[in-house]
Chain A
Amino acid sequence: MKVIFEKSVPGRRGVRPARQEGCPPPNIDPRLLRGRPAELPELSELDVVRHFTELSRRNFGVDNGFYPLGSCTMKYNPKMTEQVAAYAGFADLHPLLPQLPRGEMLVQGALAVLYRIDLALREICGMAAFTLQPLAGAHGELTGAMIIAAYHKDRGNRKTTILIPDSAHGTNPASAAIAGYQVQVIPSDSHGYMDVEALRAALNDRVAGLMLTNPNTLGLFDPNIHEISDLVHEVDGLMYYDGANLNPLLGRCRPGDMGFDIVHVNLHKTFATPHGGGGPGAGPVGVCERLAQYLPISLVRERPDGSYFLDYDRPKSIGYIAPFYGNFGVILRAYAYILMLGREGLLRVAENATLNANYVMERLRPYFDLPYGGICKHECVFSARRQAARGVRALDIAKALIDRGFHPPTIYFPLTVPEAMMIEPTETESKETLDAFVEAMIEIAHLAETRPDQITRCPTTTVVGRLDETRAARHPDLAYLPQAAQGPAGTPP
């Protein structure tokens, strides 16, 4: 398919911007103006609509089919929340209004949304206070790591290191490093849990905290969590909860009760806001009572008369981490979702997410290696090493699933499992869908034994086959530029 610039016709027009209404031309020094217009494509509105409609047909979303991408919680995104986010009372609201004199009274509805979802998240996570500002999960991790730093600075602690299990998401070590910490990796034990003895050996006065997700990236709930929290607290370390895997715990178990001091929640995972083809997300951060003073500026508070205001007077805060109050449009969708589900609905989410994952795990157990058995929570992690021995790797299985109409699971993660296939069905999928997926996986396992070539040549039903990623990285072609500006690396293949 052509790129949009190849469809451009000189002189063709799309939408017409607003009229000038006879205002005299501005008097701007020509030295400050651009010489020639930007080479944007010249298309009719229909050209543009057809181009992007065609692109959309080359893309797979949750609305197209089963999307068991482990750790990403690809549940159904309710249409209702899209409609709510489009209400003009929210969509047209300027973020600087509250900074005008008495401006807070102009945005009481928006402040109410922020205040009330904060209360809901506190209850769900067992934390004392939240900031809604972090703009993504990884941004929440960075915020959390900065709160850890602020706490230790305040206490006069000299801490240098954050501990992270070997099964952690890649963002954990990256966030800790960007906040200025050294990262020390703690291995897993033979059950897939954190190795408590290794943790004990790593703990000392330099340890600022531990970043952990529970259930972990193997989908396993770590039964030693109490002991782990106590050990970390003994050296005045803080416990950080990566909320990527919160979905199976809703109403069942709270990070705060497990001893976590800081929590981030991925609203685009647990609270059903769309992933948007890679964003926007939102990563609110909750903290225990003693850390609330370090949360970013500002916080929404309630006055005795029931009105809301923004509190900027926070001397111990880590400061400003986002331009305003967070990804409000995402927060709003999550709030609508929480209202709709209520206490019962959230509990059913946890139960069905867990049931669906265990169902898939049990049904596939005979066909693929399951390095860590028992029961799982929201996801299960198989290894394709048995198939790999016959030349069919996890990547091949992923591509074969594509030909069978499914989005593949997360592969090659966690790093602790060779040929990993991380399957997270989520609660919104039906038994029929799970059965169809399981049947496809069984068929693939069978073919891996009998006709491996039929798997390794997949996908065959897609608009492109496997792409040459080495070429993409060695000769980066990252932009389609007009001929004059195109250097050797920008030349089309």
Chain B
Amino acid sequence: MPYIANTPEQQEAMLRQIGRSLEDLFGDIPEDLRSPGLAMPPGLTEQEVRNRLAGMAAKNKVDLLSFLGGGFYDHFVPAAVPAIVSRSEFYTAYTPYQPEVSQGVLQAIYEYQSVICRLTDMEVANASLYDGGTALYEAIMMALRVTDRTRVVVDDSVSPIYRTMIRTYTGNLGIELVETRSRGGLPDREELREHLDDRTAALAVQNPNFFGCLDEFSDLADLAHRHGALLIASCYPVSLGLVKTPGSMGADIVVGEGQSLGTPLCFGGPYLGFMAARREHVRKMPGRVVGRTVDGQGRQGFVLTLQAREQHIRREKATSNICTNEGLCALAALVHLSLLGKQGLVELAQTCAEKASYAGRRLVEVRDVRMRFPKRYYFNEFVLELPVAADRVIRRLLEKGIAAGFPLVRYYPNMEKGLLVAVTEKRTKEEIDLFAHTLEVSL
């Protein structure tokens, strides 16, 4: 049998030694609950499994020329990232409960927490959460704990994918969730001034936001702080090579999706939710946290710490029910950022922005195509306003092997002609020209 070491003879010997039969060992299960066996096919060989799954993989269309983003980006992953992450000392270990034999994972998480702080200009970070959406939800719950309030304002320029999740999670909890309407691609200052009050725990914004627009939100942080509320910012880590940091704009909690740092798209997961915060809030932060300390001989070492917040100690009074982090994805992000280094991340972000800028200029040269938010600046993603429904254009371009972008009408019913276009460093100038040309002849 696959993956079972003991031979039938050994199994017999073990049973003899403990004086039981195999049936004895299952004798505690009441007879009427015993299954007659599974109605499933017999097992396959490794070769058969791999052939079958290769056949299923071939039924997925991954050779499209893709301009699809929406918070999940097709970035290049250097070979050293999977090479390191696939070292089995890392991936076959579990949560580092025994620090003496887990210094590798623990130090890596400490370094990961450090790069997240450096990237966002924040003071503390946790060991990661499931994904950007659950991280945003956890940030909201954390703000409720910090302020002891029950009202949250989330702007509709925050990913609608995340907002639908937050509606689900906050639904039963007596939390007042207010979703404000953005204007011209950015949070509407007037609308926010109207909706923030002294009962508000937090204002959540995203930068670059779902439309790709960049914002200077220091004024919003001030507005939140004047009401005693926290400012939560969701951000895209690759953009932080270039874009002003949430920490320097006054954010209190920073979260985001870390998939763009070395984790493949993989049809939606596993991904990486990161979270950073100001130091004063650290004891209200959810999730695992690693700290640096010393052993009896004064040697530096790392441990899981501040565990008094967590479910295995606090049970129903814990800050969160989270048990695991996304350790391996966090490791990938750390390795990816270490390989890029200080200058490499800047160059990567610049390349994305330059190619996107070129794509934007090139695409609005197409007849009747314009920018939906022409007054805004963008990093690597923007909204085109097409002369016809975006779905129609997307369908035609798919026939020619191009995934033109995401139809905003899925989440914004009045944006039927809005097409969200993302450009990463993987796209070449020629591909962008081909996209523009194909769009021209398809309209």
Which of A58, A101, A340 is B107 in contact with, Cβ under 8 Å? A58
Is B265 in contact with A354, judged by CB distance below 8 angstroms? Answer: no
Which of A15, A38, A75, A276 is B328 in contact with, Cβ under 8 Å? A276
Residues 252-267 of B contacting A (Cβ, < 8 Å): 264-267
Q: Which residues of B contact A321 (CB under 8 A)?
A: 165, 168-169
Which of A32, A329, A481 is B377 in contact with, Cβ under 8 Å? A32
Q: A88-96, A233-241, A446-454: which lies at the B interface?
A: A88-96
B388 within 8 Å of A by Cβ?
no
Is A93 in contact with B35, judged by CB distance below 8 angstroms? Answer: no
The minimal Cβ–Cβ distance linking A484 to chain B, given in whole angstroms, is 11
Chain A: which residue is nearest B391 at the CB level? Answer: A101
Chain B: which residue is nearest A175 at the CB level? Answer: B321
The minimal Cβ–Cβ distance linking B312 to chain A, given in whole angstroms, is 4
Q: Given A59-B90, A467-B303, A279 and B108 touching (CB < 8 A)?
A: no
Q: Which residues of A contact B2 (CB under 8 A)?
A: 78, 340-341, 345
B205 within 8 Å of A by Cβ?
no
Which of B19, B92, B354 is A61 in contact with, Cβ under 8 Å? B92
Q: Given A343-B40, A359-B18, A477 and B321 touching (CB < 8 A)?
A: no
Interface size, B (range):
35 or more
Is A43 in contact with B20, judged by CB distance below 8 angstroms? Answer: no
Is B324 in contact with A281, judged by CB distance below 8 angstroms? Answer: yes
Is B267 in contact with A328, judged by CB distance below 8 angstroms? Answer: yes
Which of B15, B174, B294 is A493 in contact with, Cβ under 8 Å? B294
The minimal Cβ–Cβ distance linking B101 to chain A, given in whole angstroms, is 4
Is B305 in contact with A354, judged by CB distance below 8 angstroms? Answer: no
Is B282 in contact with A476, judged by CB distance below 8 angstroms? Answer: yes
Chain B: which residue is nearest A329 at the CB level? Answer: B266
Cα distance A101–B399 when bound, in Å? 11
Is B270 in contact with A135, judged by CB distance below 8 angstroms? Answer: yes
Cα distance A257–B323 when bound, in Å? 29
Which of A95, A149, A487 is B265 in contact with, Cβ under 8 Å? A95
Is A358 in contact with B20, judged by CB distance below 8 angstroms? Answer: yes
Cα distance A293–B91 when bound, in Å? 36
Q: A48-56, A199-207, A284-292, A384-392: which lies at the B interface?
A: A48-56
Q: Given A88-B62, A340-B46, A56 and B104 touching (CB < 8 A)?
A: yes
Q: Given A61-B90, A92-B265, A253-B34, A137 and B323 touching (CB < 8 A)?
A: yes
Q: Given A42-B343, A58-B107, A345-B2, A89 and B62 touching (CB < 8 A)?
A: yes
A436 within 8 Å of B by Cβ?
no
Interface size, A (range):
35 or more
Q: Which residues of A contact B312 (CB under 8 A)?
A: 169-171, 413
Residues 17-57 of B contacting A (Cβ, < 8 Å): 17-20, 22, 24-30, 32-35, 37-46, 49-50, 52-57
A313 within 8 Å of B by Cβ?
no
Cα distance A439–B84 when bound, in Å? 35
A29 within 8 Å of B by Cβ?
yes
B414 within 8 Å of A by Cβ?
no
The minimal Cβ–Cβ distance linking A473 to chain B, given in whole angstroms, is 5
A251 within 8 Å of B by Cβ?
yes
Q: Given A48-B338, A87-B54, A345-B2, A101 and B317 touching (CB < 8 A)?
A: no
Is A345 in contact with B1, judged by CB distance below 8 angstroms? Answer: yes
Q: Which residues of B contact A17 (CB under 8 A)?
A: 76, 340, 344, 347-348, 351, 425
Q: Which residues of A contact B169 (CB under 8 A)?
A: 321
Which of A49, A141, A343 is B37 in contact with, Cβ under 8 Å? A343
Which of A84, A180, A258 is B173 in contact with, Cβ under 8 Å? A180
B74 within 8 Å of A by Cβ?
yes
Q: B114-122, B195-203, B365-373: which lies at the A interface?
A: B114-122
Is A43 in contact with B341, judged by CB distance below 8 angstroms? Answer: yes
A176 within 8 Å of B by Cβ?
yes
Is A407 in contact with B72, judged by CB distance below 8 angstroms? Answer: no
The minimal Cβ–Cβ distance linking B371 to chain A, given in whole angstroms, is 13
Q: Which residues of B contact A83 (CB under 8 A)?
A: 50
B434 within 8 Å of A by Cβ?
no
The minimal Cβ–Cβ distance linking B12 to chain A, given in whole angstroms, is 10
Is B357 in contact with A23, judged by CB distance below 8 angstroms? Answer: yes
Is B68 in contact with A478, judged by CB distance below 8 angstroms? Answer: no
B221 within 8 Å of A by Cβ?
no
Q: Which residues of A contact B141 (CB under 8 A)?
A: 178
**B interface footprint on A98-129 (CB within 8 Å = 1, 0 otherwise):** 01111100111110110000001001100000
Most buried by B among A39, A174, A330: A174
Residues 463-477 of A contacting B (Cβ, < 8 Å): 463-469, 471-473, 476-477
Is B34 in contact with A37, judged by CB distance below 8 angstroms? Answer: no
Cα distance A464–B28 when bound, in Å? 44
Residues 170-193 of A contacting B (Cβ, < 8 Å): 170-171, 173-180, 183
Q: Which residues of B contact A15 (CB under 8 A)?
A: 78, 80, 339-340, 344
B11 within 8 Å of A by Cβ?
yes
Is B89 in contact with A63, judged by CB distance below 8 angstroms? Answer: yes
Q: Which residues of B contact A106 (CB under 8 A)?
A: 60-61, 64, 398
4 nearest A-B residue pairs (beta carbon): A89-B57, A324-B268, A59-B104, A342-B43
19 A–B contacts from the bound complex (CB under 8 Å):
A21-B355, A38-B345, A40-B115, A40-B118, A45-B80, A61-B90, A62-B88, A63-B92, A84-B49, A100-B407, A136-B323, A171-B323, A226-B30, A272-B3, A278-B95, A322-B131, A325-B268, A430-B10, A465-B297
Inter-chain pairs besides A95-B269, A277-B102, A320-B164, 5 sampled, C-beta below 8 Å = A32-B215, A94-B265, A101-B392, A277-B328, A428-B5
